[in-house]
């Protein structure tokens, strides 16, 4: 199980500062892009991020980025992501199932990117996951808080989606996003079916002792892995 910092910032400079602050611990990040329409809050967008890094090229080994697009007009955002990918490495683009994107067509139109599906708290797996989606979409991200602001209330029932996905034959990566911290991580690890990656937001970005916070996450996952290997 991997940890990926999830960043939600109002300005590209704040985003860059967070990446610089955390990049010594992690090599990939998920960037939340919110348009203020799909979700109630608004962040910096990929056009602003691209402009900022064009004017201020990173002078360090830039991490790989995933873009979590909480936007209604994701086609417009994709054009900006194409420009951003010429400056920094972009891997997964995560689009919400409720917007009904054509993942197969997007993969053909934008072959340099991998497109993943995001399931909101209220999204039922049976409604959105078909046999074709299982084959096409290599990443499914499950939200465990309502979309938008960080520090939302963690909803344990959302973890049942992981089991549902695995039981219907989904073999791709499953990301978990929202409210992951010292209190909720033990709940996640107590489940029979586990995510591939934990997207951790405010627990890292608002930490006053980043070394301690990162150590906690890595230590508890290491201890859990040791227990699993021992068959306890």
Q: What per-residue confidence (pLDDT) applies to 229? A: 46
| Domains of the chain with bracketed CATH | 2-230 (3.20.20.70)
Mean pLDDT, to the nearest integer, of 159-173? 97
Q: What per-residue confidence (pLDDT) applies to 226? A: 56
Q: What per-residue confidence (pLDDT) applies to 227? A: 54
Count Cβ atoms below 10 Å from residue 67 Cβ, excluding itself.
27
Q: Does the pLDDT of residue 154 top 70, yes or no?
A: yes
Q: Does the pLDDT of residue 81 top 60, yes or no?
A: yes
Instruction: Give the pTM.
Output: 0.93
Q: What per-residue confidence (pLDDT) applies to 232? A: 42
Mean pLDDT, to the nearest integer, of 161-190? 96
Q: Does the pLDDT of residue 155 top 70, yes or no?
A: yes
Q: Does the pLDDT of residue 89 top 80, yes or no?
A: yes
- Mean pLDDT (the chain) is 92
How is residue 26 written in tokens? 């992690």
Taking only the tens place, the pLDDT of each residue in 98-134 is 999 999 999 999 999 999 999 999 999 999 999 999 9
Q: What per-residue confidence (pLDDT) applies to 230? A: 44
């Amino acid at each position: 199980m991997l940890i990926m910092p999830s960043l939600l910032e109002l300005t590209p400079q704040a985003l860059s500062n967070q990446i610089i602050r955390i990049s010594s611990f992690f090599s990939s990040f998920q960037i939340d892009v919110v348009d203020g329409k799909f979700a109630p809050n608004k962040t910096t967008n990929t056009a602003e991020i691209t402009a900022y890094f064009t004017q201020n090229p990173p002078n360090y080994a830039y991490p790989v980025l995933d873009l979590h697009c909480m936007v209604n007009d994701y086609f417009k955002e994709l054009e900006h992501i194409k420009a951003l990918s010429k400056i920094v490495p972009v891997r997964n683009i995560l689009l919400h199932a409720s917007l009904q994107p054509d993942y197969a067509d997007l993969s053909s139109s934008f072959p340099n990117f991998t497109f993943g599906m995001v399931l909101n708290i209220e999204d039922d797996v049976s409604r959105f996951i078909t046999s074709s989606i299982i084959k096409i979409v290599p990443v499914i991200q499950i939200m465990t808080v309502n979309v938008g602001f960080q520090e939302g209330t963690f909803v344990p029932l959302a973890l049942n989606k992981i089991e549902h996905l695995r039981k219907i034959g989904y073999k791709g990566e499953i990301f978990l996003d929202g409210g992951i911290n010292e209190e909720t991580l033990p709940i996640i690890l107590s489940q029979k079916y586990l995510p591939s990656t934990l997207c951790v937001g405010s627990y890292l970005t608002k930490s006053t002792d980043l070394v301690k916070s990162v150590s906690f996450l890595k230590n508890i996952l290491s201890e859990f892995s040791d227990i699993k290997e021992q068959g306890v």
